Chains A and B, each alone.
Chain A
Amino acid sequence: MYVVVLVVALVVIIATYLTWLGMRIDRLGARVRDARASLDVQLERRADGAREAAERAGPQAAPVREAALSALAACSDECEVAESGLTRALRATPLGPDDELSTEVARVSLARQFHNDAVRDLRTLRGRWLVRSLRLGGRSPLPAYFEIDDDATLPTAPYSGPGPGAGPGPGPGTAEARPGQPTHT
Chain B
Amino acid sequence: MARRMKIGITCPYTWDVPGGVQSHVRDLAETYIDLGYDVSVITPVDDEANLPPYAVSAGKAVALPYNGSVSRVLLGVKSGARVRRWLRESDLDVLHVHEPTAPSVSLLACLNADGPIVATFHTMNPRSRFLSAARGVLQPSFEKIRARIAVSEAARRTVVEHLGVDAILIPNGVLVRTFANAGPLPGYGPDGRTIAFLGRIDEPRKGLAVLLAALPELIERVPDARLVVAGPGDVEHVRDGLDPALLDRVDLLGLVSAEDKPRVYCSGDIYCAPNTGQESFGIVLLEAMAAGTPVVSSDIAAFRRVLDGGRAGKLFRNGDASSLATVLADLLADSGERQRLVEAGREVVAPYDWPVLAGQILQVYEMVTEEGTARRRVGVDDSAGSRVAAEAV
| A is bound by B | yes
Of the stretches B42-50, B73-81, B221-229, B365-373, the one at the interface is B365-373
Q: Do A110 and B367 form a contact, CB below 8 Å, given A17-B385, A34-B372? A: yes
Contact status B281-A172, CB under 8 Å: no
Q: A33, A117, A171, A184: which contacts B19 (Cβ < 8 A)? A: A184
Within 269-314 of B, Cβ neighbours of A (below 8 Å) are at: 279-284, 286, 301-302, 305-306, 308
How many whole Å from A29's CB to the nearest CB in chain B? Answer: 11
Interface bits A153-185 vs B (CB < 8 Å: 1, else 0): 000000011111101111110011011111111
Q: How far is the CA of A113 from the CA of B172 in the complex (A)?
A: 22
Q: How far is the CA of A185 from the CA of B278 in the complex (A)?
A: 12
**A73 contacts partner chain B, Cβ-Cβ < 8 Å:** no
Q: How far is the CA of A87 from the CA of B302 in the complex (A)?
A: 34
Q: B155, B281, B363: which contacts A169 (Cβ < 8 A)? A: B363
How many whole Å from B125's CB to the nearest CB in chain A? Answer: 13
Q: Do A181 and B348 form a contact, CB below 8 Å, given A16-B384, A164-B360? A: no
How many residues of B sit at the interface, in one of the four size bands? Answer: 35 or more
Within 360-393 of B, Cβ neighbours of A (below 8 Å) are at: 360-361, 363-364, 367-368, 370-373, 376, 383-386, 388
**A66 contacts partner chain B, Cβ-Cβ < 8 Å:** no
**A41 contacts partner chain B, Cβ-Cβ < 8 Å:** yes
**A91 contacts partner chain B, Cβ-Cβ < 8 Å:** no
| Interfacial chain B residues near A167, Cβ < 8 Å | 360, 363
Contact status A182-B370, CB under 8 Å: no
Q: How far is the CA of A131 from the CA of B282 in the complex (A)?
A: 48
How many whole Å from B277's CB to the nearest CB in chain A? Answer: 13
Contact status A114-B153, CB under 8 Å: no
Within 3-42 of A, Cβ neighbours of B (below 8 Å) are at: 16-17, 19-20, 23-24, 27-28, 31, 33-35, 37-38, 41-42
| Interfacial chain A residues near B385, Cβ < 8 Å | 16-17, 19-20, 23-24
Contact status B351-A161, CB under 8 Å: yes
Name the residue in B152, B284, B357 with the highest tally of chain A Cβ atoms < 10 Å from its Cβ.
B152
Contact status B156-A107, CB under 8 Å: no
| Interfacial chain B residues near A164, Cβ < 8 Å | 169-171, 351-352, 356-357, 360
Q: How far is the CA of A70 from the CA of B373 in the complex (A)?
A: 24
Contact status A111-B367, CB under 8 Å: yes
Contact status A114-B367, CB under 8 Å: yes
Count of chain A residues near B, Cβ 8 A: 50
**A88 contacts partner chain B, Cβ-Cβ < 8 Å:** no
Name the residue in A24, A34, A179 with the highest tally of chain B Cβ atoms < 10 Å from its Cβ.
A179
**B166 contacts partner chain A, Cβ-Cβ < 8 Å:** yes
Q: How far is the CA of A23 from the CA of B384 in the complex (A)?
A: 9
| Interfacial chain A residues near B350, Cβ < 8 Å | 161, 163
How many whole Å from A74's CB to the nearest CB in chain B? Answer: 21
The secondary-structure label for the interface of chain A is: helix
Contact status A37-B348, CB under 8 Å: no
Q: Do A113 and B305 form a contact, CB below 8 Å, given A38-B372, A125-B143, A184-B19? A: no
Q: How far is the CA of A113 from the CA of B367 in the complex (A)?
A: 12
How many whole Å from B106's CB to the nearest CB in chain A? Answer: 16
| Interfacial chain A residues near B255, Cβ < 8 Å | none
Q: How far is the CA of A22 from the CA of B348 in the complex (A)?
A: 50
The residue on B at minimum CB distance from A160 is B351
How many whole Å from A82's CB to the nearest CB in chain B? Answer: 22
Q: How far is the CA of A114 from the CA of B166 in the complex (A)?
A: 9
Q: How far is the CA of A159 from the CA of B20 in the complex (A)?
A: 30
Residues of B within 8 A of A (CB): 19-21, 23, 114, 122, 124, 140, 143-144, 146-149, 151-156, 164-166, 168-172, 199, 279-284, 286, 301-302, 305-306, 308, 347-352, 356-357, 360-361, 363-364, 367-368, 370-373, 376, 383-386, 388
Nearest 5 Cβ contacts at the A-B interface: A184-B20, A181-B152, A163-B351, A20-B385, A168-B363
Chosen A-B contacts, 15 in total, with CB atoms closer than 8 Å, are A16-B385, A24-B143, A28-B143, A38-B367, A38-B368, A111-B367, A124-B164, A163-B350, A163-B351, A169-B361, A172-B169, A180-B153, A182-B283, A182-B286, A183-B279
15 new A-B contacts at CB < 8 Å, known A172-B169, A180-B152: A16-B385, A20-B384, A33-B372, A38-B371, A110-B363, A110-B367, A113-B166, A168-B363, A171-B168, A172-B156, A180-B302, A180-B305, A181-B154, A184-B19, A184-B23
Residues of A within 8 A of B (CB): 16-17, 19-20, 23-24, 27-28, 31, 33-35, 37-38, 41-42, 103, 107, 110-111, 113-114, 117-118, 120-121, 124-125, 160-165, 167-172, 175-176, 178-185
